[in-house]
Structure 1
């Protein structure tokens, strides 16, 4: 069943109707998928609630759907995980966002570090890039039937990140010089976590002083194995291990 996201204001509870008015979705439903009256679709409000609905009318500007069923989404992990990602070059961020969205990330925060090569020229260029990244997250969330769309934050400095991670129950930073502590052992020796921050460097990794600063804020360095992973790989490998060990991937 095809799945779409709508804003909560588009869900008319008393009338048991949902209005889809996003131009791209309207076009996709009517022109690409060629759906029509009485066809059923799945709709999510982006707040972990799913709806099964039946199309009752289609126009060029909106589609009205009759609500048949309302239920809690079963695709969201119990732990809230944020990826603090050192901004990489080219389209690597697109893949990072897409794959982490599929795996259940809640939020992705681009971080400017000492080795960050990419420089956002001005506020307009920054906003444009964030909007594009958010669209990547939207599409991935739709494809993998997420109950929430991950938020792509505006870039922050490494120092701002250090202040922000203090609010998380667990802060981990994969580091190639860490040899003894893995994610499995880290979770085994500690209690339950409701929020986790994963901190990944850009190409070339973090400077030593950045690792020390993060550790000073309570970030625990972990190994991802004997091989050096690229920045576009490390984040979703760490996320995959974390999700598996917490019982979200492949059962308990």
Structure 2
């Protein structure tokens, strides 16, 4: 069944209105019409079973039949701080991390970020949020992750103080990996996690030291060097398997 995220303001009693790009997708691509069932999410995690009542080129009116007890979100909240990559690599990072259950993504501008002076990167945030929305529909998520505007390294250090666990994959780290981290925190309540990934050029030693000073775990992801667009969702997958819900019961 197809799923659509709408604003709570578009819900009126037992009916709702779908607007925007979804309308054209509904009648032109999916070819849905009156009587077809759909899933509706209010953008804050509440799900409904709905039935399309009317379709036109401006909006789709849906009757809300009942609330659906559905929560596809993990109890583990993970925030990815991603060193700004070149080209369209951030698109892939946003898409795959959304599928895997990320809660929030913030691009970071570190010493070796090539695009650090290009203000155009800040204009891509709307596109990244659209990619996250589409990935949520595909993966049947209950909440849409937030994709933030890029921040400077100094702001990152302050933001990291609120997390239960900070994990920094680093190509020069030997031995200690995610398995070691899980063993270290097995008796602690871990709800909020930060993963920090360096850009193509990697982190400076001084940046790694600043993470250590904050109590971060500097880890290896194995003997093979991963690209920046691969490292984030690899670390996320491992943590979701060990501490979240990816591995099932």
Task: Give the TM-score band, short-chain normalised.
Answer: over 0.9
Which residues of structure 2 form unaligned runs of 5+?
none
Which of 112, 136, 145 in structure 2 is aligned with 1:141?
A: 136
Task: State the TM-score, normalizing by the size of structure 1.
Answer: 0.94
Which of 66, 70, 83 in structure 1 is aligned with 2:67?
A: 70
- The CA distance in 2 between the partners of 1:227 and 1:137, in whole Å, is 28
- The CA distance in 1 between the partners of 2:17 and 2:84, in whole Å, is 37
Map of 1:179 onto structure 2? 174
SS of the counterpart of 1:60?
coil
Map of 1:16 onto structure 2? 14
Map of 2:194 onto structure 1? 197
Which residues of structure 1 form unaligned runs of 5+?
none
Which of 203, 208, 220 in structure 1 is aligned with 2:205?
A: 208
Describe how 1:64-143 pairs up with structure 2 within 5 A.
Answer: 64-119=61-116, 121-122=118-119, 125-143=120-138
Structure 1 residue 185: deviation in Å? 2.3
- The CA distance in 1 between the partners of 2:94 and 2:62, in whole Å, is 30
- The CA distance in 1 between the partners of 2:84 and 2:216, in whole Å, is 19
User: Over the residues paired in the alignment, what is the CA RMSD in angstroms?
Assistant: 1.3
Does 2:214 match 1:225? no
- The CA distance in 1 between the partners of 2:6 and 2:92, in whole Å, is 24
What's the CA shift string for 1:49-88, capped at 9, x where partnerless?
2111000112221111111121243311111110000000
Describe how 1:240-251 pairs up with structure 2 within 5 A.
Answer: 240-251=237-248
- The CA distance in 2 between the partners of 1:20 and 1:138, in whole Å, is 15
Map of 1:4 onto structure 2? 4
Instruction: Tell me if structure 2 keeps the 8 A contact 1:166–1:218.
Output: no
Describe how 1:145-184 pairs up with structure 2 within 5 A.
Answer: 145-184=140-179
Task: State the TM-score, normalizing by the size of structure 2.
Answer: 0.95
Which of 32, 43, 48 in structure 2 is aligned with 1:51?
A: 48
- The CA distance in 2 between the partners of 1:114 and 1:11, in whole Å, is 46
- The CA distance in 2 between the partners of 1:128 and 1:35, in whole Å, is 33
